[in-house]
Amino acid sequence: MTAGAAKPGGLKPIGVAVIGFGWMGQAHARSARRTPTHFPERAYHPRLVTCVDVDPGRREQAVRDWGFERAAADWRSVIESPDVDAVWITTPNMMHVELVRAAAAAGKAVFCEKPVGGRPEDVVAALTATEAAGVLTGVGYNYRWAPLIQHARALIADGALGRITHYRGRFFSMYGSDPMGLLSWRFQQDQGGYGTSSDLLSHAVDLAHFLLGGTVQRLVGTRATTIKRRPLATGAASHYGRGRPEDPTGEVTNEDFVSLLAEFPDEVTAVFESSRVIVGPESQCALEVYGTEGALAWNLEQMNELQVYQTGSGAGPRAKNSGWTTVLAGDRFPYHGNFVPGNANGIGFEDLVTIEDHEFLQALALGTRFSPGLTEAAAAGAVQAALIASWGTGSWADVVPNSGVRNPVQVNR
């Protein structure tokens, strides 16, 4: 820990560096500022030590408006700095592994935004480096921390749905649905890795692993690139930027859509889909879990609602005791009361980021394990590796733990 640093109230000081100050970097910086107000019963005190970004305006803003002690353009000196204890990596995908390796070698705790490089082999490389260094890791699968997802997991574990028979997971987003959307790094395999199978499907798979307590064993899947060319980007273009019909275009080299059938242990079947170009669902990270005595359903677009169906099989004919019930979020569920009291007073996306950052900092201060870390990210990556193998053969593929892809599959053929 930082030599000579003050310890407010006996709390363990943790010096934080954020590398990449776009949306997610700013969200994590906000979390570091907010956690003391939302989690007074904690073991740590966060310090925003340094922010790294290539944009001088963002660096200036980080110090002036966000309270960072300093900012830098070069991440190397920051990672080596003795007053940095934990590094948040929120850069474009293909920078992740280099940064994780460097931070781990410097003995820093590492929190990396998903999908950790954009390719299954990248997650394995990052996991290997951090395990060798013995540092704490975290990965941004923040939907796990939604209070009603925590409640859903408890219902499943307690047997409220009976024996689980089927799972349906999807993540549909419109962020790439405009054909005039610029050809940013997210749409290019050499710059961003794979497409929706990294960016969106990984969330859906991680939620399934979390809720069911097991991992996908085998699968068969397909993919498509719906919008094959996009206007060329200039400079550091956002994937929300828009071109014009007369602009020159370039080829999209990773996938817009994926779908797969999967099998979990104990004969649990599953279906997964993800798309970044679908029209209608705007951020539909959604799931359904079916059991012999009930079911549940959740959708990020209504993240403060959980649909629960229970048969009431022990109290007579099912037809008299069954039906869907809407459970509204409230302070009776984990973490919710740290943000708002009572019932049906909703929380938002960045509150989930604050929860995950609190749990990560708490684990670092107490010397305990944090989940989801790179181990859990590698489990989702192994599913992606099997999916990519299935693309190449058109047949079922086994999910091999900590597996990568020797010969990457170009999508836009």
Q: Which residue shows structure tokens 């069911």? A: 212
User: 322 lies in a domain?
Assistant: yes
If asked whether residues 99 and 177 sit together in one domain, one would say no
Q: Which residue, of 79, 113, 140, is where some domain finishes?
A: 140
Tell me, what's the pLDDT at 233? 82
296 token code pair: 């549940």
Residue 353 and residue 277 share a domain: yes
Asked if residue 261 is part of any domain, the answer here is yes
pLDDT digits (tens, 9 = 90+) for 49-62: 999 999 999 999 99
Q: Is residue 407 part of a domain?
A: no
- Residues 291, 160, single domain; the answer is yes
Short-list 285, 277, 280, CA closest to 254: 277
Residues 184 and 68 in one domain: no
339 lies in some domain: yes
Distance CA 391, CA 196 (A): 14
Partnered with residue 71 across adjacent β-strands are: 51
CATH of the domain at 368: 3.30.360.10
pLDDT at 235: 61
**Residue 104: which H helix or E strand, with range?**
helix 96-105
Over its C-alpha atoms, the chain yields an Rg (Å, rounded) of 22
Residue 126 counted as domain residue = yes
Q: Strands 44-52 and 70-72: what pairing?
A: parallel
Report DSSP state, residue 322.
-
Are 96 and 167 in a shared domain?
no
Read off the amino acid at residue 301.
E
Distance CA 408, CA 193 (A): 10
Tokens matching residue 76: 């190397």
Structurally, the chain folds into a number of domains equal to 2
Domain boundary among 140, 157, 182: 140
**Confidence (pLDDT) at 316:** 46
Stretches in the chain below the pLDDT threshold 70: 1-8, 235-239, 313-322, 405-413
Q: Which amino acid is at 164?
A: I
394 within some domain: no
What pLDDT sits at residue 413?
37
Answer yes or no: is 131 within a domain.
yes
Q: Are residues 234 and 354 in the same domain?
A: yes
Report phi then psi at 61, rounded to 5. -65, -40
> Is 190 found in the same domain as 62?
no
Q: At what angle do helices 201-212 and 374-393 cross, to 10 degrees?
A: 120
Is residue 78 domain-shared with residue 158, that is, in the same domain? no
Determine the Cα–Cα distance for residues 234 and 247; give it in Å rounded to an integer: 11
Residues 67 and 173 in one domain: no
Here the CATH number for the domain that contains residue 110 is: 3.40.50.720
CA angle 30, 34, 38 (to 5 degrees): 150
Q: Give the pLDDT confidence score for residue 313 in this predicted structure.
A: 59
pLDDT at residue number 8: 61
**131 and 221 share a domain?**
no
Based on the domain organization, do 108 and 207 belong to the same domain? no
* Calpha distance 163→24 (Å, rounded): 38
Q: Is 386 within the bounds of a domain?
A: no
Q: Are strands 249-251 and 294-299 parallel, antiparallel or unpaired?
A: unpaired
- Determine the structural domain holding residue 75 and report its residue range: 8-140
Give the separation between CA 253 and CA 263, rounded to whole angstroms: 29
> Do 209 and 305 sit in the same domain of this protein?
yes
Cβ neighbour number for residue 387 with a 10 Å cutoff: 30
Q: How far apart are CA 81 and CA 280, in angstroms?
A: 46
